[in-house]
Structure formats: C-alpha cells, structure tokens
Structure 1
Amino acid sequence: MRRLNILALGIMLAIGMLASCSRKDKTPEKPVESSAPADAAGMLDLVPEDPGVAGWARQGEVRFFDEDGLFELINGAAESYFVYGFRQVAAVEYGNPAHSSPILLELYRMEDTRNAFGIYRSELQPDADFRSIGAEGYIGETGLNFWAGPYYAKLVVYEDSEELRREMEKFALRLAERIGVSGDLPPEVALFPEKDLVPHSIRFLPADVLGQTYLREAFEARYRSGGGETRVVVLSPGGEAAAREALDKYRIFTATGGEVIREVSSPGDGGFVGKDAYYGPMAALQSGGRIAIALGGTSADAALRQAAACLAEK
C-alpha cells in the first residue's frame, strides 16, 4: 500500500512539473506585426512624428499589421477588409499636453482606389456629417473617417468634445495633404445619373453581388421616386459574351425564386423584367459588356426605366 502511495505521489509531482513547464512556455498572444512590410517606409512617411498640427506629436512607435495580424487589431471586422483587398495598416497614437484624449489613427492601405472607396462607403453611417477631406470624409461625435487614393483613414478620440473634433479635422486635412493623390471618385460612379439618386448611396461590391458568385466587381446605387426605392447594380463581367452568360444565369435565378414576366429586346441588347422574391419589381438589361439590374420601386416598368438610364451613361 505504501509503495502504491509513493507511486501515486510521484505521478502527481510529474504532472505538476509538466503543467508548470507548459505555463512557463505559453506567453500571451499579441497582434502579429509585419516584420518587414514592403511598403512600410512609404506609409511611415504618412504618419510622421510631427503631424503638422500645433501641439500634437506621435507617441510611441508606429505599428504595422498585415493580414495575419489584422484579426487581432479589429477582431471580427477583418474579413470585410480582406474582401476589399486589404494590404496593410499603420496604427499610431498622437498626443497633445493641452488635451486629455489622444488621437488614435488607423491608416489602411487597400489594393487600389476602388477598394478604398468600397470599404469607406461600406462603413458609412446614415447620419454622417460630411467633410471635404481627401476624396470624401465624415465626422461623428468621437471619430472621423475619410478615404483618398488607395488609403482609408480612421481617427478616434476618447471624449465627445467640439474642440477635439476640430483638432481631428485639422489632423485629417494634414494627413490627406501628405497622401497627396487626386480626390476624384472612381470613374464608375459616373454610370449613375443624378436624377432621384440618394446622396452618397453609391457603393462598390467586390464579390458575391446580390448573393451570386458569378456577379463580381459591381457598383450599386439607390434611387427614390414616386414613393418607392430602387436598388440598381451595374457591372462589367468581362466582355459581351461573359455579360450575356451572367444575364442568362440571373434570369434562371430570378425564375427559380420569383418570376420572369417578359423578355425585352431593348434598350441596349435587351434583357427581361420580372418579380424578385425579396425586392418585388425588377428588370435586368445588357448593353455590350455591361449589365444593369434594378430591384424594387413602384413597378417592373419603373425598374426597367431606371436600369436603362444607368446603361445610357458612359
């Protein structure tokens, strides 16, 4: 019996030692920082120690995160950034002795201008207070977002203060100057006529447009007229044949859950009108390598007119 007790004690001690070693070896997880990001030097120039706003200075080091570290920086929101061609983010804090809150900056480098516009508009708040910063920006109680070129900037303070909002705006203007690229919207925005267009409703959809894997890289906008709202999607699948194939697939999809009411031979190369299972009235048209799909509104004919108007724009 004594021998068994000694044996049991030995096993318990061994287990304890292994557990102790395991605890010593296990260190808290930290955000994965890019060890040598290819464009770190370029981004570093955009977040200098002196941001050009009186009294403010960079505190600590600039942290760079790539795809591996983005989950740690912004948690579950990372997936949406990957969809928009995320490349890298620089995270930095600026302080001013005259203010109790620092300004926290996250500067995202996306794949290109379209994707920077896309991620910015995807996070746009419906009650946004817009500012002429970069290509477009808006300010809230404790935050300011804007985009310019391939960059998307997000500034945050800890206090709801008019004075801090003014400082954020000055800070953002200086940052936009350093980025120094054209403030133009993507050229595809011109595809949408201004009549009845809901302001700031145009967005870029990189993938799975309308839930369809074969519809990619589209721009969409919302229109309000006659008491109804219409969602219009415009995309170029890659040539006339590819556009025809995509339209045929969408016709089958519409008929499966809703109804194809009739075919139309014009405008453009024609298409069809029908009833969508979710939006109701709808129309889909092709013109060369471009497709326009209008969903919702007061009638299928109204949707057809709206789709045709978008195809008419060059």
Structure 2
Amino acid sequence: MKDGSLRWPPYLLIGLLPVIAAVIYMTGQRYDAAAVNFTFQKGGAESIQLPEDVEGYKKVGRPRQFTKDNLYEYNNGHAEYFIAKGFSSLTVYEYAKADTQADTLVEIYDMGKPIQAFAVLTDELPADSTAASVGTMGYTLSRGVLFFAGRYYVKIVTFNDSVPAGKIASVVEKSIGADAEPFTLFDRFPKFGKVVATQFIKENYRGLDFVHDALEREYELDGEKVAVCLIQQPEKTLAAYLNFFKTSNTKYSIVEHGGKQLYKVDDKYEGQWVLIPLEDTLIGVFGKLSDDKLMEIISLNSPRG
C-alpha cells in the first residue's frame, strides 16, 4: 500500500464486533432519560411544582419528564395518540403514605392548547365516570380523577380506595394556577335542550378531510337529536365546503337570516343541515331548529360592540 492510508485486516475487524456490541449494551444499560437535554415548551408541564406532602401522602423520588422524543418510554403504544392531539410535554409525580410503596400517580400533560387538552379528556373518559368540580371540566373515576385546566390534561390514578384522589386533584389544580388559560368556547354554545355530549374532533370531522379542529355539542331537544359545531378557519373551510358541494352534487340554497347568510344543505348522508359563516368561526347545525334557535346561536357567536 503505497498511498500511506491505514487499512485494518479483515480478521481484526471481525474480532472488534463483540467489543462494539458490549459497549453499546453497557451504554444502553446506563441510559437515563431524565438526563437527556430535550427541549420543553417554556412554562410547560415541567414548570409545575407539586408540594412534597398532599393530605398525608408524600412525594416519592423526583418527577419524571417526557417530551415527544421519549413519551413512548412511559406510554408505549399510546404515545402517538397524544402527539397527534398536540402533546408538548408530560411530568409524572408519584405519592405514597410513609413507609409504603407509591400508590398514586399524577400525570400532567401539556397539550399545547386548552381545546386539545379538552379533546384528550373526552376521549379518555370511561363510561362509569361522574362529573366533579375540579378544573375547567373534571370527572371522578372508581380510582382516580381526570380533568383539564387551560392547556393541561391531568390524570390522577390511585391503586387503593383510601387515597383522597379528589383532594389531590384540587391541590394539582391550584398548582397549575395562572398557567391555565381561560376556556370560553363553551360559552358559545346555546343553552337549550339537554346536553348529551361535547367533543373535539381534531381532523376529518364527519368524514370530511378538509374540516379540522371542530368542537361539537350534541343536544336532545323536543325528542330530537341536534348537533351544533364550531369550526375554526371559517373562510378557508367554507370555500372547501362549497367546492365539496359542487364536486359531490350536494344541493344547497343561500338564505338571508338576521343579516347573515345561511347555507341550507340537503345532504344525502347527513340529511338537512345548516352552515353559518361568521367573522371568526364557521357553525354547522345538524338537525331541525327553529329560526329563533338559529338566531340564538348566531347571537352567541357574533362579536359585540
């Protein structure tokens, strides 16, 4: 070899492979997720400090923190769900009575936006939950509490019946404090009939791939089901709807009502429904409503002053 370069004999390279494998293995054994410098959203879940003692339950160890990069290590199999919903960071606390193993988990998820925290809450809510006065919206479970406050989704899980999960939830809510943004979107829904369900659909609302970030409330009114939906990006989504009506031969008519244009749609799948474009939202009304009820919805969603 006259070029002066160094070349390793093949047998020596083969001999190095077990050494390399051993180094990789030992490095993996010493891996500490908490020591990795992941980037967190400023003021996110990692900034919330819970007290050392809550109702006689003491904090166990240091809180664990996760981001999109390593959430799968804590929530394997469900991490992609949270990330798709807008997840930013997670902090996990453990509590226990003195001289006992940890029997209470407090998970604080920073979901980026209040609407996204609300979406996760409604998705994860089991059938046997009951409403609780905690956070913007909260529920008690057989062993735990779920609630959201601002952009935070909080999940408290206990492993025995004696844990005061409700009191722990109140402490967590106070610890979130001013970081919790106000959530006023519920105020834009009318107060008629019986509320059956409220949910947030991040994408593909009613099977349409151009409708995203839809907040829907379903009512029972005079024995009929009615759904009112608030959709963001009104101009863009309205244009997409009109194009869809054209390409799918869906019939609609435009009527003036209360100084607003309403699109009355005759849909072979959804039946008759109404699309109401306003300044900062697009409203879909599915089911039969009187003109007075439609005006109530328009009034709640029209800017004042």
Does TM, scored on the shorter chain, surpass 0.5?
yes
Letter paired with 1:109: D
**Residue in 1 aligned with 2:289?**
302
Q: Does the 8 A contact of 2:106 with 2:157 survive in 1?
A: yes
Distance, in Å, in 1 between the alignment partners of 2:281 and 2:39 is 38
Identify if the C-alpha distance between structure 1 residues 150 and 80 changes in structure 2 by more than 3 Å, giving closer, same or farther.
same
Report deviation, 1:116: 2.5
Distance change >3 Å, CA 225–CA 188, structure 1 → 2? same
Q: Which amino acid aligns with 2:145?
A: L
Distance 2:209 2:291 in 1: 24
Structure 2 partner of 1:313: 300
The question of whether the paired residues in 2 share the 8 Å contact of 1:53 and 1:171 is answered with yes
The answer to whether structure 1 residue 203 and structure 2 residue 202 are counterparts is: no
SS of 2:261's partner is coil
CA-to-aligned-CA distance 1:69-103 (integer Å, 9 cap, x gap): 11222223323322443221111211114877610
> Structure 2: which 5+ residue stretches go unaligned?
1-9
Q: Is the 8 A contact 2:254 2:261 kept in 1?
A: no
Structure 1 contact 107–154 (Cα < 8 Å) conserved: yes
Q: Residue 144 and residue 70 in structure 1: after superposition, are their counterparts in 2 closer, same or farther (change >3 A)? A: same
Which letter does structure 1 place at the counterpart of 2:54?
A: G
1:43 equivalent to 2:50? Answer no
Q: Give the Cα separation in 2 of the matches to 1:282 and 1:290.
A: 17
Name which of 168, 186, 190 aligns with 2:165: 168
Q: Tell me which amino acid in the other structure corresponds to 1:195.
A: F
Residue equivalent to 1:188: 185
Whether the aligned pair in 1 keeps the contact of 2:227 and 2:285 (CA below 8 Å) is yes
Give the conservation status (yes or no) of the 8 Å contact 2:252–2:265: yes
Mapped partners of 2:23, 2:247: distance in 1: 59
Q: 2 CA distance for matches of 1:78 and 1:41? A: 18
Q: Report the counterpart of residue 55 of structure 2 in structure 1.
A: 53
Q: What are the superposed Cα offsets for residues 110-137 of structure 1, whole Å, 9 maximum, x if unpaired?
A: 3233332332233233442111112221
Residues 129 and 142, structure 2, Cα contact 8 Å, conserved in 1: no
Q: Contact between 2:92 and 2:106, CA under 8 Å: does it hold in 1?
A: yes
Aligned to 2:79: 78
What CA distance in whole angstroms lies between the structure 1 residues aligned with 2:171 and 2:132?
14
What RMSD, in angstroms, separates the aligned Cα atoms of the two structures? Answer: 3.6
Task: Return 5+ residue gaps in structure 1 as ranges.
Answer: 1-10
Paired with 2:30 and 2:253, the residues of 1 have a C-alpha distance of: 59
For residue 95 of structure 1, what is the amino acid of its counterpart?
A: A
- Change in Cα spacing, 1:183 to 1:44, as seen in structure 2 (3 Å) is closer
| Alignment partners' CA distance in 2, 1:216 and 1:62 | 35
Query: Aligned with 1:104: secondary structure?
Result: strand
Count of matched residue positions in the alignment of Structure 1 and Structure 2: 287
Give 1:225's aligned residue: 221
Alignment partners' CA distance in 2, 1:109 and 1:231: 29
Superposition map of 1:21-170 within 5 A: 21-22=20-21, 25-26=24-25, 27=28, 32-33=33-34, 35=37, 37-38=39-40, 39=42, 43=46, 45-48=48-51, 50-54=52-56, 56-97=57-98, 102-159=103-160, 161=161, 163-164=162-163, 167-170=164-167
Residue identity over aligned pairs, in percent, reads 21
Cα 1:168–1:147 change in 2 (3 A) is same
Q: Which residue number in structure 1 is paired with residue 263 of structure 2?
A: 271
Q: CA 1:294–1:41 in structure 2 vs 1: closer, same or farther (change >3 Å)? A: closer
CA contact (8 A) 1:257 1:276 kept: no
* 1:272 aligned partner, one-letter code: K
Amino acid at match of 1:281: Q
1:236-280: CA deviation from partner (whole Å, max 9, x where unpaired): 415xxx2xx532421443565584254433352121221252x33
Cα distance, 1:303–1:140 mapped onto 2, change above 3 Å: farther
Distance 2:140 2:199 in 1: 19
Aligned mates of 1:115, 1:189 — CA distance in 2: 14
The residue type equivalent to 1:283 in the other structure is V
With normalisation by structure 2, the TM-score equals 0.77
**Quick one: which amino acid aligns to residue 265 of structure 1?**
E
Shift of 1:142: 2.1
